[in-house]
Copies of this chain bind each other. A is one copy, B any other.
Amino acid sequence: MKMIDGGICAAKGFTASGVHAGIRKNRTKKDLSLIYSEVSASAAAVYTTNLVKGAPLLVTKENLAGGKARAIICNSGNANTCNANGVEIARETCALLAKELNVSEKEIVVASTGVIGQPLDITPIKNAIPELVKELGNHSDAAAEGIMTTDTVKKEVALSFTVGGKECKIGGIAKGSGMIHPNMATMLVFITTDCNISTAMLQKALSTDIENTFNMVSVDGDTSTNDMVTVLANGLAGNAEITEEGEDFAAFMQALNTVTVYLCKKIAGDGEGASKMLECEVFGARDEKTAKITAKSVICSSLVKAAMFGSDANWGRVLCAIGYSGADVDVKKIDVSFRSNKGEVPVCRNGAGIDFSEEIAKEILLENEIIISVNLNSGNAKSVAWGCDLTYEYVKINGDYRT
């Protein structure tokens, strides 16, 4: 398995494009992206658990009932959510694109990110689709830009791996939570692979993977209405189709996981206003559920997040977050340390503070990737969660809109 270039166009048969359609007023940033597979691909998706769901998700879910897709279209600038005519607009987008690509509209994945509750005008999309299709090529970067909102960096990754003696490729792009416009709280991830895998196994791989990856990311605890992760697998690598668990499936899972973990860290580190990526690793848990609840509670704590912003080795807040997490842990067994490129400093043993150098702790915590390491000393299960610090900038981005 090795990292390669090409993003979502790395896998055989996939092309992409991104254009400025004018959905975002007074801007030149690309705001409409397309990902296309030259052959029909197995398609799997997971959607936000928020009861308030963006209209594009509902339409995508309908379309993917057949388990196949040819293209993904995504706009930024408007979430097409909480609008009276949202489903209609999403369906019209699919129909227009399907016509231009000469594919079935039931093979289109449609996604939107941006403002909630403001009608999405079909006109700029309609006008831009011909250009969008014409531009299709090795343009993963353009597609990655087209789905960005307040993201400060493009999130793109690709790698090659081997299944049944055949070289396969997998790549992904993502956008994280950015809400400089109201309610842009969307995590969108699009993954493409030329690995040959059945829709059922692809969905199984994705649904299993996200439990330990995207579901363990939290920027601010708010679950978006438009979150979606989609994988298209077009089979062009030529491996024997993966239709059951086994060595090939495991190889695919590993590749998928490498892509998703990479994107998770990128999303976490580029959280709104974030100055640092936080990772909480929990081990020594009695079971995986306990490890997950614990890791997520720490990563979601506003107090822990603010302490990390201040590079403050405030382990008491970590313990406090574990204590209220609902996980059944023995507080008197908990060890905590902070780690970064500058080293590691143990700060708590058996649930009580230990002497440590504030200077060394500070140096470690001034880095921009911090690992909060928690040993529950009660078993062998472990988990990892990702997040970011809480900064002035977060408040500014989310509080100053329209003022």
Residues of B within 8 A of A399 (CB): 306-307, 309-310, 312, 389-391
A20-28, A62-70, A259-267, A346-354 - interface stretch: A346-354
A183-B320, A225-B320 known; 16 new pairs, CB 8 Å cut-off, are A50-B320, A50-B323, A51-B323, A117-B315, A179-B303, A183-B317, A185-B303, A222-B303, A225-B319, A302-B302, A306-B397, A307-B399, A309-B395, A312-B403, A390-B399, A391-B399
Q: Is A127 an interface residue (CB 8 A)?
A: no
Residues of B within 8 A of A51 (CB): 322-324, 329, 331
Complex CA gap A311/B401 in Å reads 9
10 A–B contacts, CB within 8 A, in A order? A51-B324, A52-B322, A52-B351, A116-B317, A185-B303, A221-B221, A222-B317, A306-B398, A312-B402, A389-B399
Q: Is A182 an interface residue (CB 8 A)?
A: yes
Closest to A319 in B: B52
Which bracket fits the contact residues of A?
Answer: 35 or more
By the criterion CB–CB under 8 Å, are B396 and A392 in contact?
yes
Binding site secondary structure of chain A = loop
Complex CA gap A50/B320 in Å reads 7
Q: Is A121 an interface residue (CB 8 A)?
A: no
Complex CA gap A105/B185 in Å reads 54
Known: A117-B352, A306-B394, A307-B398. Contact between A222 and B52, CB under 8 A? Answer: no
Closest to A82 in B: B352
Q: Is A122 an interface residue (CB 8 A)?
A: no
The 6 closest A-B pairs by CB, nearest first: A52-B323, A116-B316, A306-B398, A310-B399, A223-B324, A117-B353
Q: Is A301 an interface residue (CB 8 A)?
A: yes
Residues of B within 8 A of A353 (CB): 82-83, 117-118
By the criterion CB–CB under 8 Å, are B310 and A400 in contact?
yes
**Which residues in window 282-312 of A have CB below 8 A to B?**
300-303, 306-307, 309-312
A84: contacting residue among B83, B315, B352, CB under 8 A = B352
> C-beta contact mask, A215-255 vs B, less than 8 Å → 1, else 0?
00000111111000000000000000000000000000000
A324: contacting residue among B183, B222, B396, B401, CB under 8 A = B222
Q: Is A257 an interface residue (CB 8 A)?
A: no
Most chain B Cβ neighbours within 10 Å, of A51, A117, A182, A309: A51
Q: Is A120 an interface residue (CB 8 A)?
A: no
> C-beta contact mask, A87-117 vs B, less than 8 Å → 1, else 0?
0000000000000000000000000000111
Most chain B Cβ neighbours within 10 Å, of A49, A118, A324: A324
By the criterion CB–CB under 8 Å, are B401 and A312 in contact?
yes
Q: Is A280 an interface residue (CB 8 A)?
A: no
Most chain B Cβ neighbours within 10 Å, of A117, A300, A317, A397: A117
By the criterion CB–CB under 8 Å, are A403 and B320 in contact?
no
By the criterion CB–CB under 8 Å, are A307 and B358 in contact?
no
Residues of B within 8 A of A323 (CB): 50-53, 223, 225
By the criterion CB–CB under 8 Å, are B324 and A117 in contact?
no
Complex CA gap A67/B96 in Å reads 74
Residues of B within 8 A of A320 (CB): 50, 52, 116, 183, 185, 222-225
Q: Is A385 an interface residue (CB 8 A)?
A: no
**Distance to closest chain B CB from A285 (angstroms):** 14
Complex CA gap A397/B390 in Å reads 12
Residues of B within 8 A of A303 (CB): 179, 183, 185, 220, 222, 398
Residues of B within 8 A of A358 (CB): 402
